[in-house]
A and B are shown apart, each in its own frame.
Chain A
Amino acid sequence: QVQLVQSGAEVKKPGSSVKVSCKASGDTFSRYIISWVRQAPGQGLEWMGMIIPIIGITNSTQKFQGRVTITADKSTSTAYMELSSLGSEDTAVYYCVGQRGNRVPEYWGQGTLVTVSS
């Protein structure tokens, strides 16, 4: 099974961008779909988007379209989520989640806290 390790916490200014990485190990990266989920303080889980690294297909919710860019580097088994035009409402823990085929998305990274503050 895959293990996902995310990059460290970030503090960003309003209007800037953040790029979070998610490095996979323990299994073949190309077997997985990687999704991004965020959780604002005290709130529930919000699915943001996904990538199929082996073919580069991405999908994101309408809420984030135009602001989120999800990419993957097969050579380093790393997925990335970049969110632009940050506002205070983007302060959250961001998780990457691995899913094999049409199975449940069950392999979670440890989360990356992104704080947006002036």
Chain B
Amino acid sequence: DIQMTQSPFSLSASVGDRVTITCRASQGISNYLGWFQQKPGKAPKSLIYAASSLQSGVPSRFSGSGSGTDFTLTINSLQPEDFATYYCQQYYSYPHNFGQGTKLEVK
């Protein structure tokens, strides 16, 4: 099984800040990596697919990069609605494991 290690576990930031979340796969997954945003009581929402492609309707302040084993999600100019929990997921091989999640909180 491919393990996904996400960091940090939590992050405090302010509106307008730039933040970066990292995700590392235990073996190469090419670009089969997605990023999801989850707000309390809601299902996760897909933000990024294929490591760096933005889903339709997702603001351009979100961006993803990486290939192989190391990936990042960057949020530029944080907005109030961005405070949530973020997960990476590999879909290269089964099981499609998730990272542990990063809770982005208001500083």
Contacts and interface: CB of A to CB of B under 8 A. Distances in A.
A105 B43 contact: no
Contacts of B36: 45
| Secondary structure class of chain B's binding surface, majority of residues | loop
B69 interface: no
B46 interface: yes
B43 A102 contact: no
A50 B101 contact: no
Contact of B101 (A45, A104, A110): A45
A76 B104 CA distance: 40
Contacts, number: 55
B59 interface: no
A105 B34 contact: yes
Given A44-B87, A45-B44, A109-B43, A104 B97 contact: no
Contacts of A61: 1, 95
A60 B94 CA distance: 8
Contact of B91 (A59, A60, A99, A109): A99
Contact of A104 (B1, B50, B99, B100): B50
15 contacts: A37-B98, A44-B87, A45-B87, A45-B89, A50-B94, A50-B96, A61-B95, A102-B91, A103-B49, A104-B46, A105-B46, A106-B34, A106-B55, A109-B43, A110-B43
Interface of A: 35, 37, 44-47, 49-50, 59-61, 95, 99, 102-106, 108-111
